[in-house]
Each structure stands twice: as C-alpha cells, then as structure tokens.
Chains A and B, each alone.
Chain A
Amino acid sequence: MAQQINVALVGNPNTGKTSVFNRLTGLNQKVGNYPGITVEKKEGLSKLGRGKKAHILDLPGTYSLNASSVDENVVIELLLNKNDKDFPDVAIVVCDVENLKRNLLLFTQIKDLGIPAILAINMSDRMQRKAISIDIPAMEARLETKIALISSRKNEGFEYLKELISNYKNISTKACMDATVIAPEYFERLKRTFPNQELYKLWLVITHDVNFGKLDRNEFKGVGSFQIESTGTLKRLQQKETIKRYQFINETLKETLFIDTANAKDLRSRFDRVLTHKVWGYVIFFGILLLMFQAIFDWSSYPMDFIDTTFASLSEWMMHTLPPGDFTNLLAEGIVPGLGGIIIFIPQIAFLFLFISVLEESGYMSRVVFLMDRIMRKFGLSGKSVVPLVSGTACAIPAIMATRNIENWKERLITILVTPFTTCSARLPVYLIIISLVIPEERIMGIFSLQGLTLMFLYFLGFASAIVSAYLLDKVLKIRNRSFFVIEMPNYKVPMPKNVVITVVEKTKSFVLGAGKIILAISVILWVLASYGPSNFKKAESLVMEANKGNDISQKELEAKIASFKLEHSYIGIIGKGLEPAVAPLGYDWKIGIAIVSSFAAREVFVGTLATIYSVGSEEKETIRNRMAAEINPILGAPQFNFASGVSLLLFYAFAMQCMSTLAVVRKETNSWKWPLWQLFFMSSLAYIVALGTYQILN
C-alpha cells in the first residue's frame, strides 16, 4: 500500500475547520457515522504531491479536551487511543486568526498529549482589514510547532500546509508548556506510577468517562487510585489548568501577535445593531422565514411538476416497450412510481438546506438563538431549539441530531420530543396531493390562493402543536437542571459557495439514499402483496366472467372489473379489508388504510403506496393525482377524496408519528426506548382522535 498519512483536523467551532477540510479533500469525501452513535464522521483523501496521500478526518468542533458532549467525546476518545485505526500521525489544529487567544487553548492541550500538531491559522484574508500581524518564526518557536497561515476563502497557503503534512516527522512532539504545576504533588505521584505515559493523557483518562472499551486497559491499570473524589476539587483544578494555559497563551501572543486597533474596521457592531435589535431583529427574522417558505413552496413547484410527469411517462414507456411479464410489472408498477415519490422531494430539501447552511455560515443563526432564547424558554425550550425546529421543516432526523448543543438536558429532551410535530418535507407530498384534490382552486380577494393558505395553516399547526406540547411537557416533566447556556457569537461572514454547495449536496444525497432504500423496499413488498393472492385471486378471471354472464358489458369494463376484483382478493386487499373497521370512522377506505400502515415506515411512502396500489392492473399510466381524483368509494358511490375525508387525512398526517427513522434517532439520542415509545403512543393517539373528530363533524 502506498504510504498514507493519517491526519485529524481539530479546532474550535467556527474556526473554518469544515472549509479547510473541503479545501484539502475537494469532493473526495465521505460522510458517515461513528459506530453506535449519531455523530457525523467526515473523512476524505488529500493528494499531497510526490505520490503521497493523506487520510483526513474532520473531528467535531470542540473548545477544549474537557469533553462535555457526545460530539466532544469522539475527539478525546480518538486522541487517547493509539490503537484506533484513525489515530492521527499528525493533528492539524485549525484556528481563526481573529480568535487566536481562545483557539490556542485547545492547541496547548493537544501538544500535551505528545501528538505532533501543526497549527493552521485560518482566515488570513481578514488580517489586513483587522490590522493584525504575526511574527510567525517567533510563534513557532514558542509553541514548538510549524505554522501554516492559510485562507480557505482565497485558497491560500494550502500548498505549504500539505508540505508540512508530508514532512510531519519533523514536527516536534514536545509540550509547549507545563500544566502539571496546578497540582505538583499529585502529578509527581502519577509520574512515579506511570513513568512512560504522558501525564496529561493520564489526567484526561482519570477525569473523563471515556469509552474504555476501546482503550488498552493494561496500559492504564491502576489509575483508579488516582480518582479525584469531589467534583468541586476537580473543577477547581480544571479552572487552574485553564488559567495556567491562558497565562502561557497571553505571554506568547504579547510577543508574537500585533493588532493595530486604530486601523481595525469593525462590521460586527454595525450589523448587530440592526440584526439583534429589539424590533428590527424580529422583523428581519420573520422576513427571512417567509422568504424561505416562499422558496420551498413556490419556487420548487416547477421542478417538482416536471419530475412528477417524467416518472409517469417513464412508467408508461416501460410498460409499452419492455417485454411483458412479472419483471416489467414490478419495474413499472412498483419501483418506478416508488422512486418517483422520493425524487420529487429533492428540490424542496435542497432549498431548505441551502437556506439553513447560508444562515449558519453567515453567523446569523447565533443571533437568532440570542433573540429567541427568552421567548422559547417560556415554553420549556431554549433559543438553541430554533435551529432544530426550523430544520425540522426539512427532516426531523438531522433536526434531532442538531439538539446536541443544547446544554440543558430538560430543554434538549423537550426539543427532541416536539420536533417531529413540525411539518417535515415528507409530509409535503401527502399534503400537496390531498390539498389539490379537496381544496378548491380559488383565490381569496383575488390574491391569496386558498390552497396555499391551507398549506400555510398546516405549517402553522405543526409549529403550534410543537410549542403547545413543549409547554405541557415543561409542566409535566420533573427534571431539575441548571441552565448552562453559552453560545458563541461568531463574526459575520459572506458564506463560501463551495461550503454551501457541499452541504446541500451531502444532505440531499443522504436524505434521498436513506429514505430511498426504505421506499424501494416497501414498494417491492407492496407490489408483491398486491400482485399475488390466495385461491380466489387466482380464479379471478373465471369468477368475474361467471358473475357478469348475460350482462352486456364491454371488454374494457370487464377487464377493469377483473383488475379490481384481483386487487381486493390479493394479499394486500385481505390485509386492507381487515383494517377497514379501524379506519372507516375516519373516512378512509381500505386502500388508504394500507397506505397509512405502510407509511408508518416513512410518511412519504403514502403517496408511493397509493401510486403502486392504483397502478397495479390499470392500463394507462396517469399522474397519481388524476388517478386519485377518479377513485370512487364503492360504499358511498362518491369520490373517495372529498372534503371531509381529505381534511381528516391532512390532520392525521399533521399529528401522527409516522417515521421509523425518527424513532430510531430519538432512541439513540435519549439512550432509552422510553421516550420514542411514549412519543409514538402520544402522537398517534392524538392523530387518530383529531382525524376521527374532524371527519365525524364535517361529514
């Protein structure tokens, strides 16, 4: 194997770590998960030149090695474990030139671990505006390292950085300061017991509840006796350590970093004056939300219509062109409509992530957190719940993962529990199709479309149910928790197009692939269930002929009768009929019942299921919507999708917890089955009761 250097990127949040990663790896990257936890694992390859390659791992942003969250634990677990296959040969500590003082804290800790660490000072393009200059050789000497001054925005300094990586063996592994002076006797004793270990590493092992399963236990046998009993003492030591490190950093910077304050230009305060203003701040935030929804609902409808008709014609084309048989049917009736049902989401998901990533990148999201915190707290939430609730309009899964930076467990739990109420994009196709069937295409006062308003109302309903449930949960849950709310307010920046594009592509891809797999599997299963059945199914033709003997009906009508007889007597028909008593009071027939049950896996399956059920056996492939409009309820003799049953369905989907993946993520994030099961029970009963009431009143 060619020589490959293992590199870990570490750094504080907002230092541009991800941008550096994108520069080093280009699109040559892979996003996965650490085994067993839902922390994103980003890795990629970088060509260093002269045949050398580096494997780059982008670790979660952290302020120090004193980890306090799952994300941060990942960092220390890796850096403490020499046996991990990702253990870095060299670490790159990314710093922001404007925040060097704070960013260097982590650097001094990494140095203490004896890992060769390159200091990458990012955002060098800002130095001129801020009148900052650095004496690099002096700083290198003080910090016992090599420094690369880089700008991911301008793509400057990366050649040198790659050269440093190639020659990592020349980088010193010496610590740049001595932190053990905070408790000399203690560390002296520790050193006597473990003469061959880095003291700081031992210190971290002792004070952290890291995953020892992965660590070599023998290496650390006996650390137990060094445990620090009282948390008060521990914290005092950690404070001392921090003070010590800052002293060293201050001395270093005094001699190596120069800021000409008279010449520094400050945009931050000018922007903040408006964006965090008591009135304008909120007006602007709601304006941005409006714009976002406009993009998601209005602008994306064009590509969506296109995708819808394309898939309908593709399926028809296959029916006519491919040799007839089971395989063609499976393709044209099962897989293609199922896939169409997921690809149609791409425009909306992409728009949503486009907005979210621009807002995050620009530094604006933190201002929203600041503005909303007090209001959200009234409902048991945190200002940091805004990001999950807004992301929840794309998908609850990344949204629930985004709750991780909420420090207060109660606020975080409530956010996790209520986020699935927000209208995720998987509900959209269900809403859109039903609205177009049952809400008249009229305009109120000639401007507002009634259908658009209905959709807006459903979004509002989603947020309102989230907020109201949060309020109730806040009253019910008996968890005492101190609020340790701290949020960094980064500098304003113009988002980097490359970062935005990569985020949008990655997120959309993982959504489509994740949901796509489920949908594909379900479409195939449904198709099989709908295309086969017990004895009556097999004799369908003769039975229907028998029943219609003497009646004068055309060949076409006969075929339609056979098809619908077959569907009713297929396995799926039998299951559906069994379900009918449960869903009939809500205004649904057995086909909708099947669609609801199968969409328990994921809501968007609803449309795909109906598409599959309806297209099985039908000759012409129309768009799903036309097919649904034509559906007649045999008992009522009227269209199945009428106002009452339509509204009942809309409300059912507004409340029901129809998403297995969300339940799985809630299980992982709360570390117990209690919460997801509770959530499932509560949301589903609420949905059933509301839908029942609505149908009974409207009908």
Chain B
Amino acid sequence: MPTIASLKKGQKGIIKTFSLDLVPLKLLEMGCLPGNEVTLVQLAPFHDPLYLNINGSHLAIRKEIAAQIEIELIP
C-alpha cells in the first residue's frame, strides 16, 4: 500500500487510513483525514521533510509520519 512518503514530487493521492496513535491530532485538525486529497509540493534533501498540500492546507511533515499515512494514488 503506498503512503504519503512514497509520493513523487507533484503527484497526488487520496488519504485512506492511518493508525491514530502514530499521527498527531494537530495534523488531523489541519485537514489530514481519510478521503481528503494530498499533493506532494516539494521535498527537502534526503526526501525529508515533505511539503504537502492536504485539502487546500499547505504544511510540512517528517517522513516518519508520512510513512504512516496510507493513500491511494491518483494517476
């Protein structure tokens, strides 16, 4: 199952599921919820952190968390 961490720059996906224990509440409140669209905007060197557009909000998270959030790729 692909996760946000496996997105390529410019690629989009739909958030499927994630373990609630590993993802902070703040991220949910910023729009990271199942069903929402996520785009990878930019990558820092070493593929970490990731600069995302989730549901219209622009934010950056570390790869560690990104790898917990499963998505379905939009071709």
Partner-B contacts on A (CB < 8 A):
63-64, 66, 68, 99, 101-102, 105, 232, 235-236, 238-239, 242-243, 246, 268-269, 272, 276, 278, 366, 369-371, 373-374, 383, 407, 482-491
Contact = CB atoms under 8 A, between A and B. Distances in A.
Contact of B20 (A232, A407, A489): A232
A384 to B, nearest CB: 11
Interface string B28-49: 1111011000000110111011
Contacts of B59: 486-489
B55 interface: yes
A383 B24 CA distance: 18
Residue with the greatest number of chain B CB neighbours at <10 A, chosen from A99, A236, A373, A484 = A484
A284 to B, nearest CB: 14
A231 to B, nearest CB: 8
Given A489-B41, A491-B58, 16 more contacts: A63-B26, A68-B26, A102-B57, A105-B29, A232-B21, A239-B25, A242-B28, A370-B44, A374-B48, A482-B22, A484-B26, A486-B26, A486-B60, A487-B59, A487-B61, A488-B59
Nearest to B57: A102
A278 B48 CA distance: 12
B58 A101 contact: no
Most buried by B among A238, A246, A269, A366: A246
A489 B46 CA distance: 19
A577 to B, nearest CB: 57
Nearest to B34: A243
Contact of B24 (A102, A278, A407): A407
B16 to A, nearest CB: 14
Interface residues of B, number: 31
B51 A489 contact: yes
A61 to B, nearest CB: 12
Contacts of B21: 232, 235
B65 A485 contact: yes
Given A370-B49, A485-B62, A276 B29 contact: no
A550 B64 CA distance: 85
Contacts of A66: 25, 29
Contact of A276 (B51, B55, B62): B51
Residue of B21, B27, B31, B49 with highest tally of chain A CB at under 10 A: B49
Nearest to B22: A482
Contacts of B44: 276, 278, 370-371, 373-374
A239 B24 contact: no
Contacts of B2: none
A486 B61 contact: yes
A11 to B, nearest CB: 14
B62 A102 contact: no
Contact of B58 (A239, A369, A485, A490): A490
A101 B25 contact: no
B64 A483 contact: yes
B27 A488 contact: no
Given A269-B41, A483-B65, A488-B59, A370 B31 contact: no
A489 B21 CA distance: 24
Given A483-B64, A484-B65, A486-B61, A243 B41 contact: no
Contact of A102 (B56, B60, B64): B56
Contacts of B33: 239, 242-243, 246
A272 B65 contact: no
25 contacts: A66-B29, A68-B25, A101-B55, A102-B29, A102-B31, A102-B56, A102-B57, A235-B21, A242-B28, A276-B51, A278-B45, A370-B44, A371-B44, A374-B48, A383-B49, A483-B65, A484-B27, A484-B65, A485-B60, A485-B62, A486-B61, A486-B65, A488-B57, A489-B58, A490-B58
Contacts of B49: 370, 373-374, 383, 485
Contact of A99 (B45, B51, B57): B57
B44 to A, nearest CB: 6
Given A101-B55, A276-B51, A370-B60, A239 B30 contact: no
Nearest to A106: B29
Given A63-B26, A232-B20, A239-B20, A489 B56 contact: no
Nearest to A109: B29
A9 B55 CA distance: 26
A488 B52 CA distance: 10
Contacts of B62: 373, 483, 485
Contacts of A105: 29
Contacts of A276: 42, 44, 51
Contacts of B60: 366, 369-370, 373, 485-487, 489
Given A374-B46, A484-B26, A484-B65, A246 B31 contact: yes
B58 A238 contact: no
A407 B65 CA distance: 13
Contacts of B25: 66, 68, 235, 238-239, 242
Contacts of A491: 58
Contacts of B22: 482
A20 to B, nearest CB: 21
B59 to A, nearest CB: 5
Contacts of A485: 49, 60-62, 65
B56 A99 contact: yes
B61 to A, nearest CB: 6
B30 A102 contact: yes
A235 B21 CA distance: 8
Contacts of A482: 22
B52 to A, nearest CB: 9
Contacts of B26: 63-64, 68, 407, 484, 486
Contacts of A484: 24, 26-27, 65
